[in-house]
Amino acid sequence: MELPLNYAVLFVFGLAIGSFINVISLRYQPGQKLLDRKVISGRSHCPICLKTLAWYELIPILSFFLQRGKCRNCGYRLSLQYPLVELLSGLIFVFIPWHLSNLQLFLLTPDFSLLTSLIWIIIFLLFLLLSIIDFRQYIIPNSINLSLVVLGIILLIINHQLPIANYSFLGHYAMLFDIQRSAVVQHTAAAFLAMTFFGLIIVLSRGKAMGWGDFKLAGVLGLIFGWPDIILVLFLAFFVGAFFSILLLIQKKKKIKEAVPFGPFLAIGAFLTFFFGYQIVDIYFRLFGL
């Protein structure tokens, strides 16, 4: 019973953190510091009638459904973002340590297992936050990218002596792309190549196809995931991004010249690589008989 109870506690704590992420993402304005007093201070209130919310109206997920997704005072229909982000945050707290515990990484670095889990939890919480902000405001705050750089460096310090197959989410398939045994070189090269690729897209499209926030985030992902994982991260990001863009065009919700925020798709590419990277590559090689 101890293990399920631990995950239950993590899930509830994650729900509360998700509520805080909602506050930051909805209050943040371009040019502000992410943790500015104007962003994180002040009581939560209805965006329409401005009624200050009571404690029982702020219980993650539960309050939303008990109030039938509406403000109790004015009846304004609340966004599904509130329970969805809280749920995703709770799941991050549960499935990140669960997934990492099943990887060989912990067998080689048992002393750093808790720290590694914590770092990856924070990384994916930041992915969630930047996705919401980019989706709403078409901007990725520099402070988020900088925080991810710091976390990536800490991970690199922890993993720098491991064989590539043990810190790559592609498992033994990573050995097919092993260009350098040094983890520092692998991750630095991945960051450089990702930024070069995105830089070329920005220059050739004159900034219409991609933004500089995406350029920075691509470099950050290269630093965090390293080579060759960054290849799969970017491929999946472009694949999922193209799929949803085509879907929006078919549904006439977007015009072909309208911008689509790419940060969320980079985050999705990172998520898929982290959890399913080995399985995706394995299916590819089996499909083509390689």
Which pLDDT score, from 0 to 100, does residue 3 have? Answer: 60
Which pLDDT score, from 0 to 100, does residue 1 have? Answer: 41
Which pLDDT score, from 0 to 100, does residue 178 have? Answer: 66
Query: What residue ranges of the chain have pLDDT lower than 50?
Result: 1-2, 106-107
For residue 45, what are the β-bridge partners? 52
Which pLDDT score, from 0 to 100, does residue 179 have? Answer: 61
Which pLDDT score, from 0 to 100, does residue 103 have? Answer: 76
Secondary structure of 74-120 as H, E, C letters:
CCCECCCHHHHHHHHHHHHHHHHHHHHHCCCHHHHCHHHHHHHHHHH
Which pLDDT score, from 0 to 100, does residue 35 have? Answer: 75
Which pLDDT score, from 0 to 100, does residue 116 have? Answer: 87
Which pLDDT score, from 0 to 100, does residue 43 have? Answer: 75
